[in-house]
Chains A and B, each alone.
Chain A
Amino acid sequence: MNWLHVTFILAAAYLAVFLEASLNFPRSWIGVQIDLLPALMVYTALTNDIFVIAALALFGGLCFDALSANPLGVSVLPLLAVGFVIDRSREFLVRESIYAQCVLGAAASAAQPLVTLFLMLNLRVAPSVGWGALWQWLVLTVGGAIATPVLFAFFDRVHKAFDYQPAHQSSFRPDREIKRGRA
């Protein structure tokens, strides 16, 4: 486990929750705030082990609920469920494909609020859900589909900046060397 990588993921979750709470964009335009945590979970589940997935679900979910009127901890299990499902099907997913990233981001962003809502209704907490919630769900899904490839590109850049680069193979082959002079 690369601790620098884990720190970056948790810092990204912290920043994502802060931006969602402090920025009024795009809420003031379309009435919905896009959630970046499911997209971050897709990236984490495709590149890290289950402990990092669990850490992100716990830290990101608790931060989100702490700034929200949600019951504390209600966002943790849906995030963990999304990460767990992707982690289990990792071998069948082409994580380098932008199309796959978009589809996974959309699926994760669509599933996360549904599971959260299901949990809240089971906890007898009734949020404001009417026909308008369909619009919110649609925007969250599309937002997740757009945000996921952006996050992949961002973390690729971060890796290039902070990780050791693999040594390039030299084209020099000793067996092909032309020996000059007398043998």
Chain B
Amino acid sequence: MLKKPHYIAVILVVLVVIVLFKLPGPSVGRLKLAISGLFLPLFGLAGSAHESALQVRGALVPRRQLVDELEELRRQNDQLQMRVQQDLEIQNENEHLRTALGWAKQTRWNARLARVIARDPANWWRAVQIDLGRRDGIVPNLTVRTAAGLVGRISSVGEARSQVILLGDPNLRVAARVPTSGETGVIMSSSSAPQENNMVDFGYLSGSSAINPGEEVQTWGVEGGVFPGGIPIGRVVDVRINEYGLSKEARVQLWANLSSLEEVWVMMP
């Protein structure tokens, strides 16, 4: 037989959970941020420990190696500056042509570096938290990427940190295209094994589409969409025909390594 304290404890917890389930979305979001705020001291400590480890590592690197790397970076910087000047000329030309044709101007993005401070502890979501928040000008739906390619988008924003849902999460679908053939489809969560964190499905391809393994996939950049066009996503690994040959589905290996994300770029308008 259940004793009275058992009834009280169980009923209290069940009531709290029912109230939480019935709360409106924005209130739940605020409550989540408030509770996860309890972890800020530990995240701060982890960040300081990371910084200290980097400093120690920096102190242990031989001076000769640092000088060599500095020289190499200077050379790369010179090359990149020349390329930027060339790109600026092309950009100006592009803007003149767009104005002449009456096309909408392309948005310029400022990239801001963010550190990944936590990953989703539940195994069925793909999400991370970064150390930039509302006070840094972050708003929902901003594009998040690495130098290699697209990572995801900002889903919720707190005062000092934000949640990013990653490619492959069931809540993130990205309109994508193959630049060489112009085939378009949707990047969505993968049906393959969970160990393959860097694999996503490229679905809704027409049955007659000529898509081949090895081809690159980029964001499509449809009007009114979240992601700007032309951001590299990954490359096609294999293609399969769905039932009755009406559509095709490809598996895409992502350029960005989502398993070992440490720093990401948030593209701010």
Contacts and interface: CB of A to CB of B under 8 A. Distances in A.
Interface of A: 14, 17-18, 20-22, 24, 27-28, 30-33, 35, 49-51, 53-54, 57-58, 62-73, 76-77, 80, 84, 113, 117, 123, 126-133, 135-136, 140
Query: Most chain-A CB neighbours within 10 Å: which of B10, B127, B163, B259?
Result: B10
A28 B119 CA distance: 11
A106 B36 CA distance: 28
B123 A33 contact: yes
Contact of A128 (B13, B21, B169, B260): B169
A128 B123 CA distance: 9
B122 A69 contact: yes
Contacts of B38: 14, 63, 66
B196 interface: yes
B80 interface: no
B163 A69 contact: yes
B6 interface: yes
Contact of B194 (A20, A70, A133): A133
B5 A49 contact: yes
Interface stretch (B27-35, B174-182, B236-244, B245-253): B27-35
Given A21-B118, A64-B121, A73-B20, A136 B5 contact: no
Interface string B139-175: 0000000000000000100000001010011110000
5 contacts: A70-B125, A72-B31, A73-B16, A77-B13, A84-B6
A80 B9 CA distance: 10
Given A18-B39, A32-B194, A73-B16, A128 B168 contact: yes
Query: Most chain-A CB neighbours within 10 Å: which of B120, B129, B260?
Result: B120
Nearest to B124: A127
Contacts, number: 147
Query: Most chain-A CB neighbours within 10 Å: which of B38, B46, B121, B189?
Result: B121
Q: What 4 pairs across the A-B complex have the smallest Cβ distances?
A: A127-B124, A73-B20, A31-B195, A66-B35
Contacts of A73: 16-17, 20-21
A70 B35 CA distance: 14
Main secondary structure, interface of A, reads: helix
B28 A68 contact: no
A135 B121 CA distance: 16
Query: Most chain-B CB neighbours within 10 Å: which of A20, A31, A32, A73?
Result: A73
B60 interface: no
A77 B13 CA distance: 8
Nearest to A14: B38
Contacts of B168: 128
Contacts of A72: 20, 23, 28, 31-32, 35
B13 A123 contact: no
B59 interface: no
A175 B197 CA distance: 75
Nearest to B260: A28
B39 A21 contact: yes
B119 A70 contact: no
Given A67-B39, A67-B118, A54 B9 contact: yes
Contact of A135 (B46, B189, B195): B195
Given A71-B21, A128-B170, A33 B195 contact: no
A77 B127 contact: no
B117 interface: yes
A18 to B, nearest CB: 5
Interface string B11-25: 011101100110100
Given A67-B118, A128-B125, A133-B123, 12 more contacts: A14-B38, A17-B39, A32-B123, A67-B121, A68-B127, A69-B122, A71-B28, A72-B20, A73-B21, A80-B10, A126-B170, A130-B191
